Structure 1
């Protein structure tokens, strides 16, 4: 059986490929630029673009199970997958798709990710949704400041998240692809512990072996700072999450361990894995 992985060169997709390969599965990795994908020789790398669904028809030939990176035209992918005989799709979604996490600041994310999930479900293909909360990799927003030795400038120093390592997101996705019994599941994921933004910055410093500092801004100052690098809708969503997490910390969930049998990686482990990104 060959497994299809879309978004294969992304932070989660690359780990999905690795997990499937480690399990002895044959993997077909879809990427816009196969020449720069840099996968092991036993991974079949093919050209394909979710923005151009017609390019995916050859990639789907002979595939029974697929990992779908979320995309605006998930319906087109699901239709092509059904036509090709795909029997199972594991879709990367977001915790915001859950009604219990819907807020004003993430209403667009809620609707968008829910639509992606439903596009697959409505196709009749067996579907599992992977719904991570805060990605540990969001802290890469601070990489420039930390590399330069400057303070990380942000509002809401005491916002408490439970950041999840992208490798754990991939591990849950790969488990749902490889094993039976996950059809219809919507797995909301978190890291194993609550940690504030200021503590995250300090933890990155510990991984680097040097001190790092956090300068707390007002929400207005923080918004202006973030808008230098991010779109307005993303900035407003982040600020909304952080503001809420000051008084209502992001829940710590056991899902990663329940699904994979292994504890979720800590933020300190993520920082150690990504120390080079901050040097």
Structure 2
């Protein structure tokens, strides 16, 4: 059995960060959950909520006391911009005695991840999840309002991953030996089309859902009407219109690292069925 350790989780209010917190607590570890606003955090019982800001690294110093592991994100601040503070964060982490660091990959090269990879003073692991199953929650309003999902490129393939499995891989890498210098691509157990996802949600929610395929032009108009920046729209066109092989290929990372199979989209849909019924 792994000895109890104290871990600091940054980005703890995010989709993945919350899962890292929950998984560490379930495994019996002490967790410090970092947020810019503790009053709004809403973490599970047992988490030690601390305030700090990755854009102001010295604010992390008190939270790092007695910590053996550190989970990092690569973007920060209210504008969610790439963090340039990696070297100082690492300096503080080493001084505090942090032995292991996980970094949630930001979709491409980032200054903080580059700084971590270049640091030989700690054991680091880079987590590279593909599309989150939680992204399907973006369909909830449309399903509740009209029973429709309106998407382009409906034949696109995704090996989407349950966010809880990302948290589980992080928890193991932060508390156990054997993961230093590793880059883990994290996927679910299946490759799914948009139609597959809609059918699965329909079954979980117990309601008929119609999939409406948009043309690329219609999708662009919809995204722009929603106020998405052009760089985000460009990313969506790349990710959806020509999904990279890594995003549509199942890896065995979850089972290899955690010892149990990756969770399916059907499991995720059952857990979130109420969101598609209009019952939150």
CA deviations 1:173-208 (Å, max 9, x no partner) are 001111101000100011100110122122112111
What TM-score, normalized by structure 2, do the two folds share? 0.87
The equivalent residue for 1:263 is 261
Q: Residues 115-134 of structure 1 correspond to what in structure 2 (within 5 A)? A: 115-124=111-120, 125-134=122-131
Q: Say which of 4, 11, 17 aligns to 2:15.
A: 11
Change (3 A) 1:183 1:200: same
Q: Compute the displacement of 1:128 (Å).
A: 0.4
Unaligned runs of 5+ residues in structure 2 are 76-82
The equivalent residue for 2:138 is 141
Change (3 A) 1:231 1:277: farther
Instruction: Name the structure with the higher helix share.
Output: 1
CA-based RMSD of the aligned residues comes to: 2.0
What TM-score, normalized by structure 1, do the two folds share? 0.88
Change (3 A) 1:161 1:186: same
Change (3 A) 1:165 1:248: closer
Is 1:120–1:127's contact at 8 Å kept on the other side of the alignment? yes
Q: Residues 22-171 of structure 1 correspond to what in structure 2 (within 5 A)? A: 22-71=26-75, 72-73=83-84, 74-93=86-105, 109-112=107-110, 115-124=111-120, 125-171=122-168
Is 1:159–1:249's contact at 8 Å kept on the other side of the alignment? no
The equivalent residue for 1:177 is 174
Q: Compute the displacement of 1:247 (Å).
A: 9.6
Q: Distance in 2 between matches of 1:111 and 1:55?
A: 25
Q: Compute the displacement of 1:248 (Å).
A: 9.4
Is 1:189–1:253's contact at 8 Å kept on the other side of the alignment? yes
